[in-house]
Each structure stands twice: as C-alpha cells, then as structure tokens.
Amino acid sequence: MAFVVKRAQHAGACYGVQRALDMTNKAACEQPSVCTLGPLIHNPRVVTDLESRGITACNSIDDIAASSVVIRSHGVAPEVLSLLSEKGYTVIDATCPHVMRAQQAAAKMAQDGYHVLVVGEAGHPEVEGISAYARSKGGQCTIVDGAADIPKQLEGNIGVVVQTTQSREKLDGVVSALRERGIEPLVKDTICFATAQRQRSAAELAEEADCMVVIGGRNSSNTTRLFELCQAHGRVAYHVEGPEEIDPSWFEGCSVVGVTAGASTPENQIDAVIAAIEQVAPQA
C-alpha cells in the first residue's frame, strides 16, 4: 500500500486559538495558580493536557480555585471582567482581537443610540458576550440567526454586527431583508476569515484526495463542519481526535490521503496524526 499524504493549505489552530494557548502556557509558568473560565478550546485532549498540568476549567466564577483566570478566545460580558477584577483575580484576557472588534463595534453602536442586531447563534458564548457589550451601554440588542429572526417592529437607527464565524451569505441575507423593509443599517463586518479559509482549503483538497482525515475535537463544531464538507464533496472522510484512531484499512486503494484540521486543533496533534498515517502506510 503506497500513497501520498497531503495537508490542506489552511488547517489547524487559528490565530485566536493559538494566542489563547500561548497566553495560558505563559501564565502557567509565571503565575502561582491558573484556571480557565470554561474549557479553553473545543478540544478534549488539550483540555485534559491542561488539567494534567493543574490548569482546570472552571464552569463559573463561584468555582474558581486559582489566583489567575484565563478568558477564552470567545470573550465574555464586560460585567464578568469587572467582577473578576473586583474579586481580586489576575485576569489573563485571551479574547481574540477579532472578537474584541465585534464587542467594541456593538458597544459603540449602542452608545450612539442604534438598536444592535447581532447576527449569530443565540446561546453561543461569543454572541452572548457581544450582546452584553451592547446592553452595557444601555442599548437595545437582538440576536438574529438569519433574516427570519429580525423583529417585526424596528424603530430608529439599526446597526448590524456579526459573530466572527458566521458566513457572509447569512450576513448578506440579514442586510438584504432590512433593505427590503426600507431600513439602511450601519453594518460592521466582523467576520473572521479563518473558518472560511479552512473550509475552502478542505473542499479543494477533497476534490483531489481519495479519502480525507479530519482532525479535531468531536465537540468542535468547526471541525465537524469540515468533516461534513469533505463528505459533501463525495469523499470518504474520517474524523479523529488522535493518532491511535488511525486504521490502516481506511487507506487501501488510495493514491492521495488528504488531511485537514479544525481551528481548535494544535499543530502537535496534526503532526502526530500525519506521522501515524505515514507509519502505517509508507508513502509512494
């Protein structure tokens, strides 16, 4: 059995996730005790590794049993940051700068009297955080997961910000629906390209490969989306979290094995899986 292993051009940890990991590791070296407010990323192996080094994931402020607290790349409501400071914790704010841009845009719109529509998934920590920034300025804010969610009654100036991982199509759909109602919104396009880039690269590679291996947490929605995308391109795809899951029989008859990874998959996990694939089936 001989084949070539090809890695997608854009795959693995995005800027914001890598930054959060680096900040957490640095804090672990410098601070007496560190925890993260919620699991740092959607990757069980990374979370387990952090736990093994004493960096636990606390579910709420009441659970914190460390002197320093890491805020995840999704960000939090401004009240949470204030409360942590009031309680005397050292806050390591790993909110992704792209998310911060959305938070600040929502706050500014609300301050200027706009009713803010946040295009995104209600309940997602990033979206709840962005909305909280708008509300902290006393503004009205509504989360819309598409044009159908736009409130029937809208008065005054309307501003639109968007969850960083949403698609351009969804944002355009909301803006078009507003325009059809004669509303010209102020739009801050806060979409981050990391997700779309990874999806485009995975789709391109899936066209060329005989089978695809997708690496990342099973609880990671962006990794699962990559897996589904590979399947949608007619490829046999396997979603793995680590090298021990690799089964040599998957690659029988393959000439090209494609590998991609979600935005919450660090480089060492990708390297380990690629090494396992190459080991069980030497390359052509």
On whether the CB atoms of residues 99 and 16 are closer than 8 A, the answer is yes
Size of the site for ligand SF4 (CB under 6 A): 14
Q: Out of 36, 43, 68, 73, which residue is the one contacting ligand SF4 (CB under 6 A)?
A: 73
Q: Out of 47, 70, 160, 192, which residue is the one contacting ligand SF4 (CB under 6 A)?
A: 192
Q: Which stretch binds ligand SF4 (CB under 6 A): 46-54, 115-123, 167-175, 189-197?
A: 189-197
Smaller CB distance to ligand SF4: residue 96 or 178?
96
As measured in angstroms, the least distance from the Cβ of 246 to ligand SF4 is 27
Q: How far is CA 102 from CA 61, 125, 168, 228, in A?
A: 24, 13, 15, 28
Handedness of CA 167, 141, 96, 178 (dihedral sign): positive
Active site residue 30: no
On whether the CB atoms of residues 243 and 225 are closer than 8 A, the answer is no
Residues 92-111 that bind ligand SF4 (CB under 6 A): 96, 98-99
As measured in angstroms, the least distance from the Cβ of 41 to ligand SF4 is 9
On whether the CB atoms of residues 50 and 67 are closer than 8 A, the answer is no
Q: Which stretch binds ligand SF4 (CB under 6 A): 10-18, 75-83, 117-125, 253-261?
A: 10-18
Q: Is 56 in the site for ligand SF4 (CB under 6 A)?
A: no
Residue 84 has which token pair? 């942590």
Which residue minimizes CB distance to ligand SF4?
16
List the catalytic residue out of 86, 121, 126, 244.
Answer: 126
Residues 252-271 that bind ligand SF4 (CB under 6 A): 263
Q: What is the DSSP string of 186-247?
A: EEE----HHHHHHHHHHHHHHHH-SEEEEES-TT-HHHHHHHHHHHHTT-EEEEESSGGG--
As measured in angstroms, the least distance from the Cβ of 199 to ligand SF4 is 12
Strand-pair category, 4-7 with 256-261? parallel
Q: How far is CA 94 from CA 22, 97, 161, 167, 171, in A?
A: 9, 8, 21, 24, 26
Q: Out of 195, 199, 223, 260, which residue is the one contacting ligand SF4 (CB under 6 A)?
A: 195
Q: Out of 117, 178, 194, 209, which residue is the one contacting ligand SF4 (CB under 6 A)?
A: 194
Question: In a 10 Å sphere around its CB, with 0-12 CB exposed, 13-18 middle and 19+ buried, how is residue 179 labelled?
Answer: exposed
Q: Out of 56, 103, 164, 166, which residue is the one contacting ligand SF4 (CB under 6 A)?
A: 164
Residue 111 has which token pair? 């301050």
As measured in angstroms, the least distance from the Cβ of 214 to ligand SF4 is 17
As measured in angstroms, the least distance from the Cβ of 16 to ligand SF4 is 2
Q: How many CA atoms lie within 13 A of 28 on its CB side?
A: 16
As measured in angstroms, the least distance from the Cβ of 18 to ligand SF4 is 8
Please identify every residue annotated as catalytic.
126
**Residues binding ligand SF4 (CB under 6 A):** 14-17, 73, 96, 98-99, 164-165, 192, 194-195, 263
